[in-house]
């Protein structure tokens, strides 16, 4: 029998019961309290008629409820299904229905959406509402089920083959559910060394390491989800920030108050506001406890990474390249005072670079290829054999995950990341990767953020265009930005049109929302005309 997250969390709780497990505003949960609530909830979910492999939709922001529900699902052998709380009616319905969810757990703020959706979700057996309200016609009280009943562990024979789902937004069509076996993710986060959960717990109890992790990113996405699991399986504590908006000052204050050791960000979307807050009042915050700054899901700009390390002087900045379909593709590390090249990464274990024809790319050849990992990977996409075969090909008898990241393999074995192929712009027969152009634009002192994309063009096929978010107040013209790019990029890579805006086009998870960027581009372009 292979390791299972339910067994790991249960065994850790037994050896560090008085340690802090979750901190959320003024609420504190010890490991014993966290585990007992998860046990009660697991038992009550089984009483509701859920069976092993039943799907549970998490329509929740970051909160203790998300963590307790996750542990309860693992204990009861139920399948986690992430729901993006930014989705609108049609998208929400698709994910919950496509996943065959039998239970939907939602924050009270989303009660209106649930009321609209519920009649169209016949497969859902029950709804749980997180919040102060008591049981209603539509939903049971989540809190009541966490506090009611027997708190002893659930007696179930769990398996490393138990699954959780991670829906990922596709560039075309609806999101796809990536099916992860527990054993594969446990191997990814480095918790598979012990043969049994009990042996793992003994190692945790004997370790001086006590990670205190603050995920700025949402748990509904792979980065936040994996971050929380990693911290808890190591017997650590997770610090969660309340509220629907990122508050840089509140985040910095929490780091000092709780002696956070690891902060997990998503590129510049969260880093830039933190830097601005530190420039305003760095002396207000104690950041000395932080040993790791981690970014995944979006690359840091070189400027932001260097600026962060001026303040987080004890930390290593780790840029991790991965996706919901495959982790540990590549990474880079940088300390204060060091220079680093954005987009240059060391390959992860079991990672190779292949052409579209599945021929291995040779180092130093200059040929662009796709990153592929044969390490611990998902089973594929739920109810989508065609896309599974495309993303998880078998090459020379080995099964790989190939999420779509293009790169060149340098002679020293490092890679130069070009970007996600789905966003690649073919302009006049030349391939332009948006990330390269975005990095060049963001090196301008007045540029806060930018998005680069292709627009259909009669002459070029697709023209490179950019929308730029300026720092306020900022006095810079499009011609200034063109001049800035001339010394950095070939003419075919430089945008044909640049539109400057003040609004953000990032999603709440910090990733680029290209649809919003294109909308702002078009609106502002029309206004200029």
pLDDT tens digit string along 146-176? 999 999 999 999 999 999 999 986 444 578 9
Position 465 scores a pLDDT of 93
Mean pLDDT of 39-53: 98
Q: Confidence band (pLDDT; 50, 70, 90) for 98?
A: very high
| Architecture of the domain whose range is 346-421 | Roll (2.30)
CA distance 319 to 342: 9
pLDDT tens digit string along 353-385? 999 999 999 999 999 999 999 989 999 999 999
Integer CA distances (angstroms), 210 to 140, 171, 204, in order: 36, 39, 9
Mean per-residue pLDDT of the chain:
90
How open is the CA angle 514-219-152, to the nearest 5 degrees?
A: 160
Q: State CA 403 to chain mean position distance.
A: 15
Between 494 and 487, whose confidence is greater? 494
- Find the range with the poorest average confidence among 118-127, 252-261, 422-431: 422-431
- Find the range with the poorest average confidence among 94-103, 138-147, 421-430: 421-430
Paired sense of beta strands 497-501 and 351-354, if any: unpaired
Work out the number of other CB atoms within 10 angstroms of the CB of residue 157: 9
Q: Confidence band (pLDDT; 50, 70, 90) for 106?
A: very high
User: What's domain 426-528's superfamily in CATH?
Assistant: ANL, C-terminal domain (3.30.300.30)
Position 420 scores a pLDDT of 72
CA distance 471 to 449: 9
By the 8 A CB rule, do 166 and 222 touch? yes
Q: Where are the domains of the chain?
A: 5-244, 346-421, 426-528
Position 133 scores a pLDDT of 66
What is 5-244's CATH number? 3.40.50.12780
Decide if pLDDT at 95 tops 50.
yes
Decide if pLDDT at 500 tops 60.
yes
- Runs of H (alpha helix) within 179-318: 182-188, 197-205, 222-233, 248-257, 268-281, 302-311
Q: Confidence band (pLDDT; 50, 70, 90) for 122?
A: very high
Examine residue 37 and say whether the peptide bond preceding it is cis (omega within 30 degrees of 0).
no
CA distance 386 to 188: 25
Mean pLDDT of 66-75: 98
pLDDT tens digit string along 282-314? 899 999 999 999 998 777 888 889 999 999 999
Position 422 scores a pLDDT of 64
Check for a shared fold between 346-421 and 426-528.
no
Which tokens belong to 439? 């990095």
Between 61 and 429, whose confidence is greater? 61
Decide if pLDDT at 50 tops 80.
yes
Query: What's the whole-model pTM score?
Result: 0.85
pLDDT tens digit string along 224-267? 999 999 999 999 999 999 998 899 999 999 999 999 999 999 88
Decide if pLDDT at 323 tops 90.
no
Decide if pLDDT at 37 tops 90.
yes
């Amino acid at each position: 029998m292979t390791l299972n997250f339910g067994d790991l969390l249960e065994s850790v709780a037994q050896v560090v019961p008085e340690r802090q497990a979750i901190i959320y505003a003024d609420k504190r949960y010890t490991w014993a309290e966290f585990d007992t609530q998860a046990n009660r909830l697991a038992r009550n979910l089984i009483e509701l008629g859920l069976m092993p492999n039943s799907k549970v939709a998490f329509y929740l922001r970051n909160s203790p409820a998300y963590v307790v529900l996750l542990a309860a699902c693992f204990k009861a052998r139920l399948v986690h299904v992430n729901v993006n709380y930014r989705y609108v009616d049609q998208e929400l319905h698709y994910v919950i229905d496509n996943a065959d969810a039998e239970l939907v757990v939602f924050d009270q703020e989303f009660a209106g959406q649930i009321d609209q959706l519920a009649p169209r979700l016949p497969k859902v057996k029950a709804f749980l509402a997180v919040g102060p309200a008591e049981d209603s016609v539509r939903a049971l009280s989540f809190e009541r089920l966490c506090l009611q009943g027997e708190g002893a562990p659930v007696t179930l024979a769990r398996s490393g083959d138990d699954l959780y789902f991670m829906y990922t937004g596709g560039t075309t069509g609806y999101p796809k559910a990536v099916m992860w076996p527990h054993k594969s993710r446990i191997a990814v986060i480095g918790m598979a060394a012990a043969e049994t959960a009990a042996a793992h717990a003994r190692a945790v109890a004997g370790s001086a390491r006590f990670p205190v992790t603050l995920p700025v990113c949402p748990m509904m996405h792979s980065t936040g989800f994996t971050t929380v699991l990693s911290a808890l399986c190591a017997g650590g504590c997770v610090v969660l920030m309340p509220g629907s908006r990122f508050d840089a000052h509140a985040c910095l204050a929490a780091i000092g108050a709780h002696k956070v050791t690891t902060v997990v960000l998503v590129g510049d979307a969260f880093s830039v506001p933190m830097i601005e807050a530190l420039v305003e009042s760095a002396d207000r915050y104690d950041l000395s406890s932080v040993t790791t700054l981690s970014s995944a899901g979006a690359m840091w700009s070189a400027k932001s990474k260097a600026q962060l390390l001026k303040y987080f002087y004890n930390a290593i900045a780790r840029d991790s390249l991965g996706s919901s379909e495959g982790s540990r593709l590549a990474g880079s590390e940088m300390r204060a005072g060091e220079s680093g090249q954005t987009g240059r990464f060391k390959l992860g274990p079991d990672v190779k670079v292949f052409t579209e024809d599945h021929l291995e790319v040779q180092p130093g050849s200059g040929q662009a290829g796709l990153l592929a990992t044969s390490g611990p990977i998902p089973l594929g996409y739920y109810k989508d054999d065609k896309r599974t075969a495309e993303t998880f090909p078998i090459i020379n008898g080995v099964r790989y995950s190939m999420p779509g990241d293009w790169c060149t393999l340098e002679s020293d074995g490092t890679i130069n990341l070009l970007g996600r192929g789905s966003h690649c712009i073919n302009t006049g027969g030349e391939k332009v990767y948006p990330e390269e152009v975005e990095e060049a634009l963001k090196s301008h002192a007045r540029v806060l953020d930018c998005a680069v994309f292709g627009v259909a063009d009669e002459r070029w096929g697709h023209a490179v265009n950019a929308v730029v978010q300026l720092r306020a107040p900022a006095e810079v013209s499009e011609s200034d930005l063109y001049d800035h790019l001339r010394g950095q990029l070939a003419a075919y890579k430089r945008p044909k049109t640049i539109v400057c805006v003040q609004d953000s086009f990032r999603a709440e998870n910090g990733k680029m929302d290209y649809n919003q960027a294109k909308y702002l581009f078009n609106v502002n372009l029309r206004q200029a005309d």
